[in-house]
Amino acid sequence: MNGHSIIESGVTGAKKLRQNGLQPIDPAVGKAKARELAERAEIAIVGSVDENGYPNSKAMFKIELEGVKTVYFSTNTSSRRVAQFLSNPKASVYFHDPARFIGLLLVGQMEVLLDAESKERLWRDGWEAYYPLGVADPDYTVLRFTAFRGNLYQGLQNVSFEV
């Protein structure tokens, strides 16, 4: 960023927005921007709830996306994340682009999919590095997140919407 930190760039951008006047974001435009951001992002911050009711966040590779309604991830069946989602499916997914100072929070539920069809459909070349036994590895699990609401932040403004 030309020798500037993301924080400095954000402050500079916010000052310009305030000087020029904030233009409200139309909800339809906000939804479109949300979809564009989710499509561009390769990594999402996935939120779960632990056994004591505290939030846990983890960066995960986005595997596939269906609009902003459904997002697929993969992880180890033996992971803490899978145990948390089996116990409490409440979840959040956060996509962001720090260079553009835009973020999208999605709130919904996470399902743990162990069926062969889902695992085969979402399998990617090279994943043997994570799952040595391949697509049939019992430690390979697909997660399907389904959003019911979202919030887009951009230009010092929030646009909330139902998904």
pLDDT at 1 over 60: no
| Span 74-96, pLDDT tens digits | 999 999 999 999 999 999 999 99
CA distance 80 to 64: 22
Residue 143: name the closest of 59, 86, 69 by CA.
86
> What is the model's pLDDT at position 23?
78
Task: Name the band, by pLDDT with cuts 50, 70 and 90, for residue 3.
Answer: low
Tokens representing 6 are 């993301």
Question: Domain 6-162 carries which CATH code?
Answer: 2.30.110.10
CA distance 163 to 151: 10
pTM: 0.90
| Span 24-56, pLDDT tens digits | 788 898 999 999 999 999 999 999 999 999 999
Q: How is the chain split into domains, by residue range?
A: 6-162
Task: Name the band, by pLDDT with cuts 50, 70 and 90, for residue 13.
Answer: confident
Residue 63: name the closest of 161, 9, 141 by CA.
141
